[in-house]
């Protein structure tokens, strides 16, 4: 059969959002691939220049609809550096709780989407079932299931609700039981291993060259976790193990799956520690309206390294905002992962890198 | 002891029925048009109605109608309902819950409101009917550059070849339209016609996804059809016949008794046939296009595969007939390996109808057969909703490197056990 291009998107069951992956196939084998993005470009960096610092939190929430808090937190962190605001300890711990809850919810959304990518619809409903519990916790904490608008420059919006620790422990205890169920559904399945092991490989050097970060880079065997390397908030006091693929010869879909999957467990233990360790006191510091200077913050988002670079010129709005989206960089490396694989693997490879078009197109 | 409700066979029953009906009409005409009256020529009609070839023709048509209604309307809807309900429970949700009280018009809505009935908390059996009605209302779209004739032929080919299976597929020793000497061969031949329709549909749609889906169906056919037939050959070595009813009759004997529990001589209880059963069931999953092997319509990457361009009831036809193929596939596994409709008959009622004693076995063979088919089908559903989909090259590997050698091993064992059985102490 002659080679021809197939559009996997923009309206296609594979796409996790509005984008297009063009693949050139020779029979079933992919010879070339070309991501086409920009369908969801909303001009975030420009819009943020005309809004006040504090009001931009609402916007940054909407960068990624499954991982809102991590994004608005990165923005707040950058602004705090311009304004020289010190977040009170309790605020820092509440942020850690909220971030990790959001990370679990985001990873569960990824797990849910990864099931149908492989043809396993049961995985979708099981993962979404447990995600509901974490969304309930987030709702208890912030009042919303989605686009929570929770972090503030100088702290968080509100204190922990009463008995929050009890609810957390209950949910996490239940979730740990369900994790073993997922393991039986995913890792213990021979067909799952056939579909993921050795598929979508990217070497460590390529991954670094193309700017792949987060769980996708850790899956290549490199121990990078900004929560460890460049700790922010209360992370230095938290005991956790960055999930790195140690099996050697990583970088495939299976390694990426395992890194993310094990991060679910790590995040749960971080939440438990944070709920126990959160000191009493103020949860929010007063932040000035105007700021001058440059603020730079990078955090470990659910999908990789989220970076905010904010410049203030003494006005109450940022002069310039630069967002580095981890998915945007990872997307550039996907043709390397795709080439030489079969057409059915387009979906499972892109599912394993966890695409979020909202933040990719900004 | 005959345990089937439909006995001796469907055609004979239909013949008796139609003869009775025609006799009443014929007698009425003869009584209404006595000799010498102005309407005397009508007596010719009365004699025509009782002609044997006319009765036979009618009896065949009624038998075929009964079988198609039974298989296409009742069993199809039941299997769809069972699958949807079963995998919903597997996924921790209720699944379809439409009931008769959900109908939005009188008297159902009125009655539901009056009795405070929960309108959407029923068993959900009517949901598939509602889906069918919805599909009937939709427009049939032919893509602009599609090969129109082929595009419209493919669903007909798929649906008709699927219905053709039921010409020879028995539900009990009597509940069958055509009991031909080589019915197994006919069933398998009709089964393997559908991938041709899929290939035509994929080509004619003029759509890249459809084309890839159709080509995948053709490639996949090679991988599962050969082990399927090889596994059947192992059964034939034991049974010595291609007639499905005789194959079941061979399995009705007693193998052994564990205390009071008699173990029937089912094919699955022998070493070579168990291997054959594993091969046959795996290949049948591919034949049915169930999830680990549903790569021609892999909805993750190919939208809906070869079905992508079909809309309206044409889509419903090819999509719904998957369940009829699933029914036929499960039935075939039960016939070949699980003793078909044989099962204990506990009581036989013998009521007298018009002077003749009619034996009614409880439970009849049809019920045993359906119970086995449903159970097996649920196992298929269970498997297919718990595993991911395999890739096209992987199914080729599974087919050629695993299933075919296993099927050949089954044939070898079966042949040597039949040839040397007495010398090896009756091993089977």
Instruction: Express each pLDDT in A121-144 by its tens digit.
Output: 888 999 999 999 999 999 999 988
Which pLDDT does position B426 carry in this prediction? Answer: 66
Which pLDDT does position B339 carry in this prediction? Answer: 83
The average confidence (pLDDT) of chain A is 88
HEC-encoded secondary structure of B151-213:
HHHHHHHHHHHHHHHHHHCCCCCCCCCCCCCCHHHHHHHHHCCHHHHHHHHHHHCCCHHHHHH
A234-to-A89, A204, A230, A277, A296 alpha-carbon distances in Å:
8, 30, 12, 10, 18
Pair of tokens at residue B424: 């090896």
Binary contact (B391, A345; C-beta < 8 A): yes
B196 and B295 in contact (C-beta within 8 Å)?
Answer: no
Which pLDDT does position B407 carry in this prediction? Answer: 92
Average pLDDT over residues A317-342: 89
Prediction pTM value: 0.87
Percent of chain B with pLDDT over 90: 14
Binary contact (B388, A189; C-beta < 8 A): yes
Reduced to 3 states (helix: H, G, I; strand: E, B; else coil), residue A309 is: strand
Confidence at A1, pLDDT banded by 50, 70, 90: low
**CB-CB neighbors (< 8 A) of A13 in chain B:** 299-300, 303
Q: Which of B87, B212, B389 sits opposite A119 (nearest CB)?
A: B389
Chain A, 14 to 73: residues with Cβ < 8 Å from chain B are 14, 25, 28
Cα B288–Cα B290–Cα B291 angle in degrees, nearest 5: 160
Average pLDDT over residues A195-220: 89
- How many angstroms from the chain centroid is the CA of residue A283? 25
A309 and A325 in contact (C-beta within 8 Å)?
Answer: no
Which pLDDT does position A108 carry in this prediction? Answer: 92
Which pLDDT does position B373 carry in this prediction? Answer: 92
**Regarding predicted confidence, which is higher, B352 or A317?**
A317
A324 and A332 in contact (C-beta within 8 Å)?
Answer: no
Which pLDDT does position A169 carry in this prediction? Answer: 92
pLDDT in tens, B64-122: 888 888 887 888 889 999 999 999 998 888 888 888 778 888 888 888 788 887 777 77
Q: Which of B294, B385, B391 sits opposite A122 (nearest CB)?
A: B385
Among A82-96, A208-222, B37-51, B274-288, whose mean pLDDT is lowest? Answer: B37-51
A116 touches chain B (CB under 8 A): yes
CA distance B120 to A123: 26
Average pLDDT over residues A58-85: 89
Average pLDDT over residues B245-257: 82
- Helix ranges (H only) for A318-361 are 326-338, 344-352, 357-361
Which pLDDT does position B1 carry in this prediction? Answer: 44
pLDDT in tens, B345-373: 777 777 777 777 777 777 888 888 899 99
**Distance spanning both ends of chain B, measured CA to CA:** 26
Pair of tokens at residue B94: 């209720």
Q: Are strands A151-152 and A155-156 parallel, antiparallel or unpaired?
A: antiparallel
- Which chain B residues have any C-beta within 8 angstroms of a chain A C-beta? 87, 90-93, 208-209, 212, 215-216, 291-292, 294-295, 298-301, 303, 385-394
Asked if the model's pLDDT at residue A314 lies above 50, the reply is yes
Asked if the model's pLDDT at residue A279 lies above 50, the reply is yes
Asked if the model's pLDDT at residue A173 lies above 90, the reply is yes
A275-to-A86, A101, A234, A265, A266 alpha-carbon distances in Å:
21, 11, 12, 16, 14
The average confidence (pLDDT) of chain B is 85
B392 and B220 in contact (C-beta within 8 Å)?
Answer: yes
Average pLDDT over residues A158-180: 90
Question: Domain ranges in chain B?
Answer: 156-420
Q: Are strands A155-156 and A292-300 parallel, antiparallel or unpaired?
A: unpaired
**Regarding predicted confidence, which is higher, A181 or B258?**
A181
Nearest-Cα distance to chain B for A191, in Å, is 6
Binary contact (B93, A125; C-beta < 8 A): yes
Judge if the upstream peptide bond of residue A354 is cis by omega within 30 degrees of 0. Answer: no
CA distance B143 to B138: 15
Percent of chain A with pLDDT over 90: 19
Q: Which of B385, B387, B391 sits opposite A344 (nearest CB)?
A: B391
Binary contact (B389, A342; C-beta < 8 A): no
Spatial CA neighbour of A211 closest among A295, A306, A302, A296: A306
Chain A residue at shortest CA distance from B293: A119
Domains of chain A: 53-303 (1.10.645.10)
φ, ψ for residue A32, nearest 5 deg: -155, 160
Beta sheet of A29-36, edge-to-edge order: A4-8, A20-26, A29-36
**CB-CB neighbors (< 8 A) of B209 in chain A:** 6
Give, for A313, the enclosing helix (H) or strand (E).
strand A305-313
**CB-CB neighbors (< 8 A) of B215 in chain A:** 1
pLDDT in tens, A24-46: 988 888 998 888 888 888 888 88
Average pLDDT over residues B273-291: 89
CA distance A307 to A325: 7
Which pLDDT does position B2 carry in this prediction? Answer: 57
Ramachandran sector of residue B333 (left: φ over 0; alpha: ψ -120 to 50; beta: rest)? alpha
A12 touches chain B (CB under 8 A): yes
pLDDT in tens, B298-356: 777 788 788 888 888 888 888 888 888 889 999 999 999 988 888 777 777 777 777 77
Q: Are strands B356-357 and B352-353 parallel, antiparallel or unpaired?
A: antiparallel
A148-to-A48, A71, A99, A287, B389 alpha-carbon distances in Å:
18, 11, 12, 20, 36
A191 touches chain B (CB under 8 A): yes
Q: For residue A93, how many other CB atoms are within 10 A of its CB?
A: 26
A246-to-A179, A199, A221, B146, B404 alpha-carbon distances in Å:
21, 17, 6, 52, 38
């Amino acid at each position: 059969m002659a080679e021809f291009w197939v559009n996997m998107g923009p309206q296609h069951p594979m796409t996790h959002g509005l984008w297009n992956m063009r693949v050139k196939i020779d029979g079933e084998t992919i010879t070339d691939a070309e991501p086409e993005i920009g369908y969801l470009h909303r001009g975030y960096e420009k819009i943020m220049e005309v809004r006040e610092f504090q009001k931009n939190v609402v916007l940054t929430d909407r960068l990624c609809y499954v991982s809102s808090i991590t994004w608005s937190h990165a923005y707040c962190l950058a602004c705090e550096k311009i304004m020289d605001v010190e977040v009170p300890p309790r605020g820092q711990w509440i942020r850690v709780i909220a971030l990790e809850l959001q990370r679990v919810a985001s990873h569960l959304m990824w797990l849910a989407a990864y099931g149908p990518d492989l043809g396993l619809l049961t995985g979708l409903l099981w993962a979404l079932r447990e995600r509901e519990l974490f969304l309930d916790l987030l709702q208890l904490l912030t009042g919303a299931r989605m686009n929570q608008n929770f972090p503030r420059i100088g702290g968080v919006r509100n204190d922990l609700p009463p008995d929050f620790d009890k609810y957390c422990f209950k949910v996490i205890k239940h979730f740990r039981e369900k994790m073993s169920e997922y393991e039986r559904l995913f890792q213990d399945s021979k067909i799952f291993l056939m579909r993921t092991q050795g598929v979508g490989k990217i070497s460590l050097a390529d991954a670094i060259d193309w700017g792949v970060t987060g769980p996708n880079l850790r899956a290549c065997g490199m121990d990078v976790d900004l929560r460890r390397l460049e700790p922010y908030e209360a992370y230095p006091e938290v005991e956790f193990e960055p999930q790195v693929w140690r099996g050697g010869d990583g970088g495939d879909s299976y390694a990426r799956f395992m890194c993310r999957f094990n991060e679910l467990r790590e995040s749960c233990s971080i939440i438990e520690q944070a709920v126990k360790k959160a000191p009493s006191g103020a949860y929010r510091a007063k932040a000035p309206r105007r700021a001058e200077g440059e603020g730079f913050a990078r955090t470990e988002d659910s999908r990789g390294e989220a970076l905010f670079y904010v410049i203030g010129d003494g006005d109450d709005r940022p002069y310039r905002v630069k967002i580095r989206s981890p998915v945007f960089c990872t997307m550039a490396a996907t043709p390397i992962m795709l080439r030489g694989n079969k057409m059915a693997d387009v979906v499972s490879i892109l599912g394993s890198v966890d695409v979020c078009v909202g933040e990719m197109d900004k | 002891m005959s345990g089937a409700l439909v006995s001796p066979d469907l055609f004979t029953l239909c013949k008796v029925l139609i003869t009775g009906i025609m006799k009443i009409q014929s007698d009425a005409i003869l009584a209404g048009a006595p000799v010498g009256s102005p309407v005397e020529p009508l007596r010719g009609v009365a004699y025509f109605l009782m002609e044997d070839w006319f009765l036979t023709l009618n009896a065949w048509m009624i038998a075929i109608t009964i079988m198609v209604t039974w298989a296409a309307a009742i069993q199809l809807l039941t299997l769809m309902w069972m699958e949807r309900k079963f995998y919903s429970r597997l996924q921790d949700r209720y699944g379809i819950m439409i009931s008769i009280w959900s109908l939005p018009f009188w008297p159902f809505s009125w009655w539901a409101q009056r009795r405070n009935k929960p309108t959407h908390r029923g068993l959900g059996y009517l949901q598939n009917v509602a889906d069918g009605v919805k599909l009937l209302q939709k427009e049939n779209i032919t893509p602009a550059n599609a090969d129109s004739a082929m595009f419209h032929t493919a669903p007909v080919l798929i649906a008709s070849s699927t219905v053709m299976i039921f010409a020879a597929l028995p539900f009990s020793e009597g509940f069958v339209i055509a009991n031909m000497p080589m019915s197994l061969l006919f069933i398998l031949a009709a089964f393997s016609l559908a991938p041709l329709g899929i290939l035509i549909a994929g080509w004619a749609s003029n759509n890249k996804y459809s084309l890839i889906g159709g080509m995948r169906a053709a490639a996949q056919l090679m991988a599962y059809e050969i082990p399927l037939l090889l596994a059947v050959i192992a059964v034939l070595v034991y049974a010595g016949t291609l007639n499905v009813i005789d194959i079941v009759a061979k399995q009705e004997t007693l193998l052994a008794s564990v205390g009071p529990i008699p173990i029937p001589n089912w094919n699955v209880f022998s070493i070579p046939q168990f291997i054959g059963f594993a091969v046959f069931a795996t290949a049948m999953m591919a034949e049915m296009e169930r999830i680990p092997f549903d790569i021609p319509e892999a909805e993750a990457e190919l939208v809906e595969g070869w079905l992508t361009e079909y809309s309206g009831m044409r889509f419903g036809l090819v999509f719904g007939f998957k369940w009829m193929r699933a029914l036929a596939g499960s039935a075939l596994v039960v016939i070949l390996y699980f003793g078909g409709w044989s099962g204990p008959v506990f009581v036989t009622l013998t009521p007298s109808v018009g002077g003749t004693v009619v034996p009614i076995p409880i439970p009849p063979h049809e019920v045993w057969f359906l119970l086995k088919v449903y159970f097996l089908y649920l196992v298929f559903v269970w498997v297919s909703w718990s595993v991911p989909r395999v890739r096209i090259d992987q199914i080729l590997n599974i087919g050629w490197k695993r299933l075919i050698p296993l099927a050949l091993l089954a044939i070898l064992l079966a042949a040597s056990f039949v040839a040397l059985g007495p010398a090896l102490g009756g091993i089977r």
